[in-house]
Structure 1
């Protein structure tokens, strides 16, 4: 791409951005830049002063630096490091401490001189913090300032712990954490209430003094804040926008983190497009949305005045474009998610044959099925299809401790009422109580407690699946090993999970597989579960004929919904079906009112589900299609 074309493509971007295909490649490139800087300074007898970040973003960068140290003799003996931040108060040996993080992810594996490592001290008395912060700044100055500053970005737009409201000339100081930042950290601390409310952080002004600054971001969850930081006006509401003022900054992103940038999200606004069917559909729906018009009322002026003149000229007349997109949207809507028997299926999202299909719904957690596609689940069963549900994990981490005790107490009382011995049960109960009395935040539960929590969720899942119309023999609890293994192991292997999934698929031989495609799930379980299903189907496809007629449908809803242009099957729900779906969700009583891990969305899961499916229906209505109470959306995945 020529320099002129690149400038045109990136004209909405207020700072330098480099986008890589994936996080692994991007992290490797960042590590190579750091290594080159160290080697260059070593040759001239200078120390290299690095500003380092914590969190998930730099982990693969550090892993590559460790590899280069062990395999390529990259030395850190002449490197001085200053970490951006630390929770306050925080003991250095705590699991959540950034001291622990840095030792585990980098320092314990390289030859750095420990006296050259500087991490803010979370053990100070608060009255001593101000003086300590001044000395932290003086140490950085003593070493000649930061050669290189590595940054991540929080969803509030914070860099370090410089939350909204931070000043561009701020120095190292004690700050109060934003509520969203604390919610994002809640899983590491076993609940938001255990996350410290304060932190010591380098200031924006401190960061600015670095001679080279790289901000890295990975994944779709960071896309919206990256767009604000890169394309938005400079504002204290998004501290990362201050980086636009520095000539030494580069954002390094993977494709998902960059996906909301104008050049990727609405490329017709920055350059001539290579128009394909997907781009045309997305562009016309976007145009209808910004003009607040139904698709069939869009005019040539609407196209010309909103950056889509090229499409109108090359693919017009525009009314033909409108009709084509309207028809595509219309054809996604079906009340027959298993296919309509004895009907022309050329314009329908699912096949008509066989009239009675075998379907399996994979649910990563024990409630994802009814939350995300409960209406379709019930519809498939009501229409006579052979529906199975497979709960991939026990979900045993997401039950309140008090509920587990109450469950055992009921069993003890039940045994006593029947005049049966409950000595062993009472002993188990006492072990649970003793453990919980001294349990620290985020401490792994003992096996007895995990078993009880798993049984609670299993009972709720059975109740929900029965309510949806399934016989017990079609309800499968996989309890995939990776879920519990991941609580203690760092490097996971999924071979046994894949084999177990292959065995179930081979037993059921489905025509339809429904899988969770909500990769914004903050725990990462959805993505892992999907990858296991996908690998199982790919392997089976090599030897099993039935897989060639098996379609894989992705659903969402618990965390995010598909964009309208992505949807390939939209199942409308009546008001009565919405209520029935709500009842199915209510069977999961341990997740009602306030689940253990709600994520950033404070709404209950049933409220999220109803409001998201309602909004999908309203979006179709605004585009000029029929008005429904709610719609569940699906995307077909080709494997």
Structure 2
């Protein structure tokens, strides 16, 4: 086990560490990124104080991106509330885009000052970030000078890292050499795709960057890598359990004897000890683990559940499960029935029916329902078929759009609407102001309030068109415009009491029997995560009210991921006609079709990817031996 000193004890006590024969890098799993980030910040703070007591400088290697933001927030808090001084700290950032002006809001120079340096007492001369504006002629020498400066101050005491989906650390992309130093590098396409949202489109993402090398990183005395969210799970498994290879540069960290990976549950989900713990150790077989194991075995062997045999279980590390259950036959029927009972065409409960084996209750025949949608199209993208069913079956359905979604409207789309408005109202000064702003807008300009309002109105009108198409009255559509989102930039504010109060008031007013919310947490700093946190905080304040005893919360996933088959607690099948109806509802969100800015790593349009996802969920159910449906939307219940 690679725990070099006492620094790791706090992590091990707070998180979950179990060394296995599959793992080659020490890692600790936390329930969420917040607690983990606070502990990392505490380690950094302790190191700074230790060096200060020795009258020595503390040399920190720092990372950018979404992963370390909470660490920096906690360091700022410790500085302001506990008096931690950074006067003895010298920092070296991992990388910078090239070419990139330091005043550009997308630069890592800007990022570091925005998230850390502007809020602490570090000396400006002790801040080192690669120069993204150095001339091509001087670039090579600039990289050598950066490397020599790190060595001149005694090397890195601590290096903070994130990890990209290509396995890059810093911007050391696949193919990087073990002994590489600071240099100019061409960015992988996947890396540029992941950066595209911040740049409002991949075409705006630089193709090159300056990065510390693998050798530079490995020279640090201590390395901590942060990994948050399910979208990092596969690359973290490759890094922690795979062979060392230049195709996954992070695997070079296996050479380092004082490295710890700090990851959350989503990021750990592909590790052998998490995904298939029965291959690692003896298990306590609760019902959820039994279902997970049986579904995994069915998918592994490409056999329906009812066809699995005793031999199949024994050959795949599950003899202990059979010992508890008796025979494969008994276990198969039990798990098959458990999955069968998740399927319902009545997401609000079937009136006058036996609901003992159904996902929802029948004893409240007409339910008040709130569907929370983080953006103005998540409702129809993620659960359009279920939305349609709830309305058709007579429930009192309310849609709550948590944010305006204005940042996802392109300038070209806004200009089109402004010019139409100008045609109808030639003398409208405000419209002319919007047109002038959009035509003169530069990369560093933040949208004016008028432009943001117009973009928000575009999303509102699209949302109302879609909800009307699905038969919902306008008075049941609520635009919350949560304040945390309204910054005009990719960077959002933290949740405030105002955000929670808005959520609280809506729930208090409607007193719902059902709440649907987006549980897609791939990005811990994404809008979905913040919107879900706001809901959870509101529910925490509301849960003592009597009407909340009858309120159930169902979580859906977004356009990128779906719940695993064993996680699904309510599966709502759709007919081919309903699939088409859902598609048409999505089409009303025209500003998000045809080249949407936040496409992610998937080039398919939202309606295509979500239809494929719903079709795949139905196929998985069918492959497990269940009925053959055209498509299925899936939900997992949240207990508060």
- What TM-score does the superposition give when structure 1 sets the normalisation length? 0.92
After alignment, is 220-229 or 23-32 more displaced?
23-32
* C-alpha distance 302-388 of structure 1, shift in aligned 2 (>3 A): same
* C-alpha distance 510-73 of structure 1, shift in aligned 2 (>3 A): closer
Instruction: Establish whether residue 334 from structure 1 lines up as the match of residue 344 from structure 2.
Output: yes
1:130-149 mapped onto 2 (5 Å cutoff): 130-149=140-159
Instruction: Establish whether residue 90 from structure 1 lines up as the match of residue 100 from structure 2.
Output: yes
- CA distance in 2 between counterparts of 1:552 and 1:189 reads 35
1:466 to 460, 465, 468: 468
- CA distance in 2 between counterparts of 1:150 and 1:537 reads 35
- The Cα offsets for residues 95-133 of structure 1, whole Å up to 9 and x where unpaired, read as 222222223333334443433332111111112111211
Q: What corresponds to 1:536 in structure 2? A: 538
Q: What corresponds to 1:484 in structure 2? A: 486
Q: What corresponds to 2:593 in structure 1? A: 592
Q: What corresponds to 1:634 in structure 2? A: 635
- CA distance in 1 between counterparts of 2:323 and 2:19 reads 21
1:410 to 392, 402, 420: 420
Q: What corresponds to 1:441 in structure 2? A: 443
Q: Is the 8 A contact 2:229 2:521 kept in 1?
A: no
- The Cα offsets for residues 61-104 of structure 1, whole Å up to 9 and x where unpaired, read as 33444444455554444433222111111122222222222233
* C-alpha distance 212-494 of structure 1, shift in aligned 2 (>3 A): closer
Q: What corresponds to 1:297 in structure 2? A: 307
After alignment, is 61-70 or 503-512 more displaced?
61-70
- CA distance in 1 between counterparts of 2:182 and 2:399 reads 53
Instruction: Establish whether residue 385 from structure 1 lines up as the match of residue 385 from structure 2.
Output: no
CA RMSD of aligned residues (A): 2.4
1:90-489 mapped onto 2 (5 Å cutoff): 90-413=100-423, 415=424, 422-425=425-428, 427-441=429-443, 443-485=445-487, 487=489
- The Cα offsets for residues 394-430 of structure 1, whole Å up to 9 and x where unpaired, read as 21111122222222333343x3xxxxxx2442x2232
* C-alpha distance 492-149 of structure 1, shift in aligned 2 (>3 A): closer
1:510 to 509, 512, 525: 512
Q: Is the 8 A contact 1:405 1:429 kept in 2?
A: no
- What TM-score does the superposition give when structure 2 sets the normalisation length? 0.92
After alignment, is 521-530 or 545-554 more displaced?
521-530
> Displacement, 1:620?
0.3
> Displacement, 1:522?
7.9
- The Cα offsets for residues 287-346 of structure 1, whole Å up to 9 and x where unpaired, read as 111111111111111111111111112233222111110000101111111211221111
* C-alpha distance 590-488 of structure 1, shift in aligned 2 (>3 A): closer
1:500 to 494, 499, 502: 502
Q: What corresponds to 1:418 in structure 2? A: none
> Displacement, 1:25?
3.3
Q: Is the 8 A contact 2:63 2:161 kept in 1?
A: yes
* Number of positions where the alignment pairs a residue of Structure 1 with one of Structure 2: 627
Q: What corresponds to 1:525 in structure 2? A: 527
1:17 to 7, 11, 27: 27
> Displacement, 1:26?
2.7
For residue 408 of structure 2, give the secondary structure of its aligned residue in structure 1: coil
- CA distance in 2 between counterparts of 1:40 and 1:99 reads 27
> Displacement, 1:635?
1.2
Q: What corresponds to 1:553 in structure 2? A: 554
Q: Give 5+ residue unaligned stretches, structure 1.
A: 416-421
After alignment, is 68-77 or 162-171 more displaced?
68-77
Q: Is the 8 A contact 1:10 1:270 kept in 2?
A: yes
- CA distance in 2 between counterparts of 1:609 and 1:578 reads 10
Q: Is the 8 A contact 2:104 2:444 kept in 1?
A: no
For residue 407 of structure 2, give the secondary structure of its aligned residue in structure 1: coil
Q: What corresponds to 1:34 in structure 2? A: 44
- CA distance in 1 between counterparts of 2:403 and 2:81 reads 38
* C-alpha distance 77-386 of structure 1, shift in aligned 2 (>3 A): closer
Q: Is the 8 A contact 2:399 2:477 kept in 1?
A: yes
For residue 185 of structure 1, give the secondary structure of its aligned residue in structure 2: helix
- CA distance in 1 between counterparts of 2:153 and 2:142 reads 17
Q: What corresponds to 1:419 in structure 2? A: none
> Displacement, 1:538?
3.7
Instruction: Establish whether residue 51 from structure 1 lines up as the match of residue 53 from structure 2.
Output: no
- CA distance in 2 between counterparts of 1:489 and 1:227 reads 29
- CA distance in 1 between counterparts of 2:130 and 2:551 reads 55
Q: Is the 8 A contact 1:8 1:270 kept in 2?
A: no
> Displacement, 1:250?
2.0
- CA distance in 1 between counterparts of 2:419 and 2:51 reads 66
Q: What corresponds to 1:613 in structure 2? A: 614
Q: Is the 8 A contact 1:188 1:442 kept in 2?
A: no
* C-alpha distance 328-21 of structure 1, shift in aligned 2 (>3 A): closer
Q: Is the 8 A contact 1:190 1:442 kept in 2?
A: no
- CA distance in 2 between counterparts of 1:242 and 1:193 reads 31
- CA distance in 1 between counterparts of 2:232 and 2:48 reads 30
After alignment, is 548-557 or 504-513 more displaced?
504-513
* C-alpha distance 459-139 of structure 1, shift in aligned 2 (>3 A): same
- The Cα offsets for residues 422-477 of structure 1, whole Å up to 9 and x where unpaired, read as 2442x223212221222122632112222222222111111111111212332222
- The Cα offsets for residues 247-292 of structure 1, whole Å up to 9 and x where unpaired, read as 2322222333223222122211111111111111111111111111
Q: Is the 8 A contact 2:59 2:91 kept in 1?
A: yes
Q: Is the 8 A contact 1:464 1:584 kept in 2?
A: yes
> Displacement, 1:140?
2.2
Instruction: Establish whether residue 563 from structure 1 lines up as the match of residue 573 from structure 2.
Output: no
- CA distance in 1 between counterparts of 2:560 and 2:262 reads 26
- CA distance in 2 between counterparts of 1:394 and 1:77 reads 42
- CA distance in 1 between counterparts of 2:85 and 2:503 reads 45
> Displacement, 1:501?
2.9
Q: Is the 8 A contact 1:514 1:554 kept in 2?
A: yes
* C-alpha distance 8-32 of structure 1, shift in aligned 2 (>3 A): closer
Q: Is the 8 A contact 2:285 2:321 kept in 1?
A: yes
* C-alpha distance 486-589 of structure 1, shift in aligned 2 (>3 A): closer
